[in-house]
A and B are shown apart, each in its own frame.
Chain A
Amino acid sequence: MTKLLILIVVVLAIVAVAQLARVYELTTRLSGKREEEISPADNRMNATLMWIFLPVYFAFFAWLVWAYGDKLLPVAASAHGADTDALLNFNWVILLAAFIPTNILLFVFAGKYRYSPDRRAHWNPHNNRLELVWTVVPAAVLAVIIIYGLTTWSEITSAPEGEVVEVELYAKQFDWTARYPGADGRLGASDFRLINGSNPLGVVTPEAVAQRVDELNAEIAEVDSIVEHAILPDSKVAELKDRAEVLRRHLARVINLRTVMEQDIKENGPASIYLAGADDIVTKDFYLPVHREAMLRIRSRDVIHSAYIPHMRAQMNAVPGMTTSIKMTPTITTDSMRTHVVKDPEFNFVLLCNKICGASHYNMQMDLIVTDDAGFDAWYKEAMKKPFQAPAEDAAEEPVATAMAMTEGD
């Protein structure tokens, strides 16, 4: 019913426009007026509209600034964020200094020099001096912008000095997991082939490798036994054989990894990166201490995600197959944001995904808690007591399962 109504309204609207145009068409045809002859009244109307548009345009801009200026991101809560905000403000000044006069000239000229048969346009095909001026001036201004911008950029991207808090942020559809190095201060090696329910990040430890080998062996045995004992159509048998093939390939690769690991442990002893993972803290809590430089190591297991913390002015893509990193120093704790800055007891810094990654992309988030040193150390000590806590996987896996179901014929 509503469909029909909408359709009728649309059709009627089109008919109305058509009829109006037809009436206009006929009247102009009667008066012998030609479309290309723009009447003085039309020229005047458009020139006036140009003049009216200019203040309305600026007023709209001013209204947006007035009404929403204080609803944008609050003051930067990181050291480099303060720098980029200053850089941004500097850029705004330059941009407005270009935006306002050029628009004024454009619309004022457009309105002012409307056609008159008594007048001729001024003949000035070029003016080299003028053109040189507006090539050189933008170039000079841009040089300043480039130098200021690149100075800030190189500070942000320089290697950290001194000790840093190292955190791995691990992305998958559609959630984040954090990993801290634990007592030894080193993040252990990881490998995507080890990922399972109890090891969502695939942290490599001799136990994890052994467990995965057992798991794969068990799965292969199960598939083999089905193929052997059950009575199945040929196509199903072929499918299961393929599956066993895939599992065997994985097993071979995990065994390969085991060899590499064992060799490394033999060579490096306790310093081996494969032994550093045992005490890693894998957690759904993301804590950082204030005023200490943090190094975020960012990884993904499936598609590209992006770790974006707007209040910190920090962002870095999470790319499967590689580790990216970004450093930042939080300068405001969650508590003082709540009480002093945004004045909202519910406020939390948030890490969100900012690269299209699938159906629940719009809700892939994790809170970030910034505390003082004491609070951070207390949390860290507590978190270390329960290493390898397996986060609830089910809720997170669900959208993927639905996606699968859809491709297979919903």
Chain B
Amino acid sequence: MGATAHTAHAHEAHHHHEESFVSKYVFSHDHKMISKQFLVTAIIMAWVAVIMSILFRLQLAWPGEGFAFSNFFLGDKWAPGGVLDPNMYLALVTIHGTIMVFFVLTGGLSGTFANLLIPLQVGARDMASGFINMLSYWFFFLSSVVMLASLFVEGGPASSGWTVYPPLSALPQAIPGSGTGMTLWLVSMVLFIASSLMGGLNYVATVLNLRTKGMKMTRLPLTVWALFITAVIGILSFPVLLSAALLLLLDRSLGTSFYLSEIHVAGEALDNMGGSPILFQHLFWFLGHPEVYIVLLPALGITSEIIATNARKPIFGYRAMIGSILAIGFLSFIVWGHHMFVTGMNPFLGSVFVFTTLLIAIPSAVKVFNYITTLWRGNIIFTPAMLFSIGLVATFIAGGLTGIILADSALDINVHDTYFVVAHFHIVMGMSAIFGMFAGIYHWFPKMYGRMMNTKLGYAHFWITFICAFGVFFPMHFIGLAGAPRRYYSYSEFPMFDGVVDLNVLVTVFAIIGALAQVIFTYNFFYSVFRGQKAVQNPWKSNTLEWTTPVEHIHGNWPGSLPVVQRWPYDYSKPGKAEDWVSQITPLDHGEEEH
């Protein structure tokens, strides 16, 4: 079946030269173009979320002070005199989280790299279904538009935290953001989930069916393994969020009581009886926790590839790396309850979740040790991509370890929902994943645009971002250990936090510098798209198949027949070879062992 598909595609490839602008750049079926569309959309969304974070960081560092910056973006309604409104503060943290988690690190990360790398690295002409792939992007685009539109409605956007726990998210009487803003948030998520499912099905189908000759599962680059498992996790968990969102929509607009019971709000007893707000949390986190790995695994996959390439060494423990991806993927489904230790859940159930959650530390530790061992006695070339990959390992260590504390239910009681949690997940999931994304962009930019990004600007971008990442999120652990809750508009009402609130100034200063560093990146990115140095075919001397395609993009990826894979992707510095790399399409020498 695979063979016929290939010939059909090859045939198609010859007749696709005179494409119109719309079919080439807008409603493109080509996975490489779709990947670029995802990336550019994600960069725009990321900027929205970054500016939001600066707005609320200003309030946290200097509570109650007016900033022209805030007034500029929010106007007199939400920042009168430049002082952030408390409801808008909650809206900003909500949308910042939503955009970063879903639009940047899920849609942006998986959408960009699964689309770009899966067909290129498995040796396929395109995705299994180019049309569904196109739909996937356009649903993502619509979803982004709806989310951005929700910023402009009366009452403001959704404000009940990115986890949108009902009843707060269900009752406009409780918070203005739970009016139209919340409805749009839910509509946007429904579109997003549809996009994510279409993408995911395509990725899985492509990896399983369209691998080129010789590309055994045990010869797949770790990027593909990671993106493949990510897609499987997404397919299995996103529908649960979809149902959670639909039930919430019903509660909000049709008067059902899935999540509502015995509520007296704004001077009125409501009719709703028999629902449970905790049900929503179970449904939400059944996606929500796997989501963490949907965000993280692609970044880890990208890093595995880049570290091996730039250390000029095979990734250490290739099979263990696959095993740990599989283990993380499986375990991610049975740990969601660790977000709910203090909801009144049965303590025994809590114990089970402690156990399963801490198990995840084992494959994670294996990955870290394998990265470090790959660097050991390597021959390291510091491309910007390599720097971000090493940065990822550092943030993965720092953030992963504090996870052990949060997973321990007895300890979670006192740090739950404090800044300690904010510090933890921003480092392990926010920073690690975004570092993985940056690494991927720097590494595969030549493949995407046929041009090179500026290396020196890449260095400046990395070092400023890296330092600021720790400057922003390390002090937050201390704020959290002082008992300071997250999502507080101000800490001035509590004398007990007086000792640590000045850390908020330090955090905000680092956040602003870190955000400015992203200007360097954005400039470098867009400048290089149009004016960057022309790329050569295989700039990083990498083994994988994507570097055997021509620099100029063509439909069908390879001009002639598809490449035949002869070996695994990590033959770097193999003894007995003239070069320190051997492409996957180079046949094994007589008597050569595969690895």
Contact = CB atoms under 8 A, between A and B. Distances in A.
A360 B276 contact: no
Interface string A82-116: 01100110010011001100110111011001111
27 contacts: A3-B72, A18-B523, A21-B523, A72-B481, A88-B405, A106-B393, A125-B314, A125-B317, A126-B320, A130-B373, A131-B370, A138-B362, A138-B365, A142-B358, A149-B411, A153-B409, A156-B410, A249-B271, A301-B263, A302-B264, A303-B174, A321-B277, A322-B344, A353-B485, A359-B87, A365-B493, A365-B494
A17 B520 contact: yes
B99 interface: no
B174 A125 contact: no
Nearest to A130: B373
A362 B355 CA distance: 33
B455 interface: yes
A152 to B, nearest CB: 4
A319 B271 CA distance: 17
Given A123-B314, A304-B168, A321-B277, A68 B503 contact: yes
Contacts, number: 410
A340 interface: no
A121 B86 contact: no
Contacts of B278: 319, 322
A34 to B, nearest CB: 7
Interface of B: 68-69, 71-72, 77, 86-87, 90, 154-155, 160-161, 165, 167-168, 171-176, 179, 260-267, 269, 271, 275-278, 311-320, 342-344, 347, 350-351, 354-355, 358-359, 361-362, 365-366, 368-373, 375-383, 387, 390, 393-394, 397-398, 401-402, 404-405, 408-411, 413-414, 416-418, 446, 452-457, 459, 463, 466-467, 470-471, 474-475, 477-478, 481-483, 485, 487-491, 493-496, 499-500, 503, 516, 519-520, 523-524, 527, 531-533, 535-536, 539-540, 570, 572-575, 580, 595
B319 to A, nearest CB: 7
A114 B390 CA distance: 13
B483 A123 contact: no
Given A110-B375, A403-B176, A362 B493 contact: yes
Contacts of A249: 271
Interface stretch (A41-49, A225-233, A381-389): A41-49
Nearest to A114: B380
Interface in A167-199: 172-173, 192-193, 195
Given A87-B408, A359-B175, A17 B380 contact: no
Contacts of B463: 49
Q: Among the interface residues A142, A152, A202, A410, which one has the most CB atoms of the partner chain B within 10 A?
A: A142
Contacts of B516: 13
Contact of B378 (A122, A172, A404): A122
Nearest to A91: B405
A324 B390 CA distance: 45
Given A123-B573, A319-B344, A403 B474 contact: no
Interface in A335-373: 346, 350, 352-363, 365
A352 B485 contact: yes
A146 B358 contact: yes
B173 A403 contact: yes
Contact of B490 (A47, A142, A362): A362
B483 to A, nearest CB: 3
Given A87-B411, A357-B168, 9 more contacts: A36-B536, A38-B382, A64-B478, A68-B503, A87-B410, A149-B409, A193-B269, A303-B171, A406-B87
A211 to B, nearest CB: 15
B68 A6 contact: yes
Nearest to B457: A21
B399 to A, nearest CB: 11
Given A6-B68, A131-B366, A192-B262, A72 B482 contact: yes
Q: State the main secondary structure of chain A at its contact with B.
A: helix
Contacts of B524: 21
Contacts of A115: 312, 379-382
B444 to A, nearest CB: 13
Interface string A138-154: 11001001100110111
A312 B417 CA distance: 16
Contact of A47 (B320, B358, B382): B382
Given A302-B265, A322-B276, A356-B90, A138 B456 contact: no
A304 to B, nearest CB: 6
Contacts of A146: 354-355, 358
Contacts of A240: none
A324 B404 contact: no
B416 A320 contact: no
A360 B493 CA distance: 11
A272 interface: no
Contact of A122 (B168, B376, B570): B376
A400 interface: yes
A64 B408 contact: no
A324 B344 contact: yes
Given A109-B376, A126-B318, A321-B261, A6 B343 contact: no
A2 interface: yes
B533 A35 contact: yes
Given A35-B452, A321-B261, A71 B482 contact: yes
Given A407-B179, A410-B154, A356 B276 contact: no
A125 B173 contact: no
Contact of B455 (A13, A42, A298, A315): A42
Contacts of A313: 413-414
B303 to A, nearest CB: 12
A258 interface: no
Nearest to B273: A321
A362 B313 CA distance: 52
